[in-house]
Amino acid sequence: MGASETRTRLRELLTAGGLPPLDDATAGRLEDYVSLFLRWNERVNLSAVRDEEGVLSRHIIESIKVSSVVPRGIKTLLDFGSGAGLPGIPIAICRPEIAVTLAESQGKKAAFLQEAVRVLGIGAKVHAGRAEALRSVFDCVTLRAVDKMPKAVAAAVRLVAPGGWLALMTTGAEIARLRKAAGTEISWSEPVKLPFGDDRILALGQRINSAV
Residue 15: φ, ψ to 5°? -65, -45
Let me know: does 96 contact 120? Beta carbons within 8 Å. no
What confidence tier does 210 reach under pLDDT thresholds 50, 70, 90? Answer: low
The distance in angstroms from the start CA to the end CA of the chain is 47
Q: Residue 1: its pLDDT value, please?
A: 61
Query: What burial class does residue 118 get, using C-beta atoms within 10 Å of its C-beta: 0-12 exposed, 13-18 middle, 19+ buried?
Result: exposed
Is the pLDDT at 181 greater than 90? The verdict is yes
Give the closest residue to 56 by CA, choosing from 88, 9, 23. Answer: 9
- Give the separation between CA 111 and CA 139, rounded to whole angstroms: 25
Label residue 131 left, alpha or beta by phi (over 0 means left) and psi (-120 to 50 means alpha): alpha
- The C-alpha atoms of residue 74 and residue 52 are separated, in whole angstroms, by 31
Query: Over the stretch 54-72, which tens digit does the pLDDT of each residue have?
Result: 999 989 999 999 999 999 9
Q: Average pLDDT in the 7-11 region?
A: 95
Helices 24-41 & 107-120 angle (0-180, nearest 10): 150
Dist CA 34 CA 9 (whole Å): 12
**Structural domain spans, the chain:** 3-207
Cβ proximity of 64 and 19 under 8 Å: yes
Query: pLDDT, tens digit, for every residue of 110-145?
Result: 999 999 999 999 989 999 999 999 999 999 999 997
pLDDT at 197: 75
Does residue 102 surpass a pLDDT of 80?
yes
Please classify residue 184 by burial: count the beta carbons closer than 10 Å to its beta carbon, then call 0-12 exposed, 13-18 middle and 19+ buried.
Answer: exposed
DSSP bridge pairs for 142: 79, 167
Structurally, at CATH architecture level, domain 3-207 sits in 3-Layer(aba) Sandwich (3.40)
pLDDT of residue 12: 96
The Cα 104–Cα 6 span in angstroms is 28
